[in-house]
Structure 1
Amino acid sequence: MTNRMRKWIRRVLILVLVVLLGWLGYRWSMSQPALSPVKTVPKQLFGQAKIYSQTDRQKIAGTIAAQDQTANSLTKQGFVAIPKLSILLPIYDNAYSAKALNLGANTAQKGTPVPTMGQGNYTLAAHNWNNGYTAFSALQQKLKQNAPYYANGQFGSSDWLNGQTIYLANGDGVFRYQITGQDGVSQDDVSVLDPNARDEDKAKLTIVTCLFPDTTKRIITSAKFVGFDDWADASNAEVSYFDTKSQKINLAP
């Protein structure tokens, strides 16, 4: 074997090693919890420095409220955004439809009227795809680990997201909720869907998603209602979270 061939083989092997290490690094970064710096820095929804005119705001409001799934007999309620977790999803009205859950978040009422944003207990559900990013996956504190929501046969809770803001938006404006805690519950626990439930005597938001790896359990994220602004008065940052021309809807990686 000539020296030239040895050098060529060595370069090819180095290139293969670099590609392999890059691929392993990518796989590792994607497996990290939602608030790990390697996940949040590039993917966190950003509040743009842009100043939105009233015309811009009305266009965004129109997009948020547009009925785009009437062919599937679904009514869009608006959008949900959790900037810190890169979550931006449309909200439809049937959490008990597999087709609807594949399209975004859905109101999770059962035998009661569709909830109203900013009133009562607004209940939402979406998939946890166990990847820390798509749909409501980022709400689980640690990937592929039941704790702290369920451990040693006991349900538990977590405060890792306490104080984070969840935004709901519809054609009227932007509703703000502040996360107050997370709890693990059985998949059969429908008490979390009580339309009259409150959080610290305030209207609340309840988000339901599966736990992994024990998918017979659920993660319940609770948040209290803290304010509302119509589209004309919402801050530029809040409007930007729902600017779907700039922000990425996280149904897929």
Structure 2
Amino acid sequence: MNERVRKWLHRFFGVLTVILLLLLAWQWIQSQPATNGIKKTTNKVLTQKQGKYSKKDRAAIKASVMKQDQKEINLTKQGYVAIPKLSILLPIYDNAYSKVALDKGANTAQKDTAVPVMGQGNYTLAAHNWDNGYTGFSALQQKLKQNAPYEDDNGQLGRSDWLNGTVIYMANQNGIFRYKVTGQVTVDQNDGSVLNPDDRIAGKAKLTIVTCLFPDTTKRIITNAKYVDFKSWDQVKSDEIGYFDLNKQKANVLP
């Protein structure tokens, strides 16, 4: 092997070694919770386009949404909640203080008061955060396995605007209600002030979603959303009805 070829090979393998080391370093950095802001979901729940729905189709979807499927454990279904951006689709029941109920989907969270009414007052919901970015309300946490930005290393509570403007749909026997996220805050697990049924956002009805923070499970992520509008089953757009077409869509209740 002449000297020229030897030098070329030396440079080639030197550059290759540097590239491999950089790739390994990048993979290690991305694996660290403090720097990895990407949540990988195992499956998409909501299909964005479902075609047109006739009056008969709409009646069938409404009946499916309101089907009382948990009577044997004394749960009354209130409807469904859908957050298409996060592929969230959950049935809504009426007892967030029951583990059995929470394993069935989202539940209204007001305690010792009347079950809230969609589009009125402060409609409060709670569901599990399974710490996987996919099932329950897990996708509401900005980053997996990382308290920030909801809590810093000194235990100071924070907030996040990463979902601001995101549309949340809720469906019941009357039709579909739209809300838009206005921000997320963090509270202690024992802070019940967020459940005040009289709370409003700029004088409008609101939606309050409660789910655990991970890894500090003593804190709760509170997602606030402002009421936008309501459409009956006959009036709502087919694309929005499609989010609740349970023959085609899959609820993300359990891992």
TM-score bracket for this pair, using the shorter chain length: 0.7 to 0.9
String of CA shifts for 1:19-59, please: whole Å, max 9, x gaps: xxxxxx9xx99x9x9x958549x616223241000000000
Partner of 1:131: 132
Partner of 1:120: 121
Q: If the length of structure 1 is used for normalisation, what is the TM-score?
A: 0.84
Partner of 2:199: 197
AA in 1 matched with 2:211: T
Supply the RMSD in Å over aligned alpha carbons: 2.1
Partner of 1:9: none
**How many residues of Structure 1 are paired with residues of Structure 2 in the alignment?**
223
Partner of 2:54: 53
Once residues 107 and 88 of structure 1 are traced to their aligned partners in structure 2, the CA distance between those partners, rounded to angstroms, is 15
Q: If the length of structure 2 is used for normalisation, what is the TM-score?
A: 0.83
**Contact (CA 8 Å) 1:44, 1:84: kept in 2 or not?**
no
Once residues 249 and 193 of structure 1 are traced to their aligned partners in structure 2, the CA distance between those partners, rounded to angstroms, is 25
Identity %: 63
Once residues 37 and 132 of structure 1 are traced to their aligned partners in structure 2, the CA distance between those partners, rounded to angstroms, is 6
**Contact (CA 8 Å) 1:47, 1:236: kept in 2 or not?**
no
1:168 to 163, 167, 170: 170
1:159 to 156, 161, 169: 161
User: Do structure 1's residue 238 and structure 2's residue 240 form an aligned pair?
Assistant: yes
User: Do structure 1's residue 103 and structure 2's residue 104 form an aligned pair?
Assistant: yes
Partner of 1:146: 147
AA in 2 matched with 1:124: L
Instruction: Flag the 1:119–1:44 CA change in 2: closer, same or farther, 3 A.
Output: same
Once residues 140 and 66 of structure 1 are traced to their aligned partners in structure 2, the CA distance between those partners, rounded to angstroms, is 30
Question: Which structure has the bigger radius of gyration?
Answer: 2
Partner of 2:190: 188
AA in 2 matched with 1:197: D
String of CA shifts for 1:125-153, please: whole Å, max 9, x gaps: 00000000000000000000011111122
Runs (4+) of structure 1 exceeding 6 A deviation are none
Partner of 1:3: none
How far apart are residue 200 of structure 1 and its match? Answer: 1.5
AA in 1 matched with 2:210: V
DSSP 3-state at the match of 1:147: coil
Gaps of 5+ in 1: 1-24
AA in 2 matched with 1:171: Q
**Contact (CA 8 Å) 2:187, 2:221: kept in 1 or not?**
yes
**Contact (CA 8 Å) 2:168, 2:180: kept in 1 or not?**
yes
AA in 1 matched with 2:228: V
Once residues 200 and 127 of structure 1 are traced to their aligned partners in structure 2, the CA distance between those partners, rounded to angstroms, is 29
Gaps of 5+ in 2: 1-26
Partner of 2:20: none
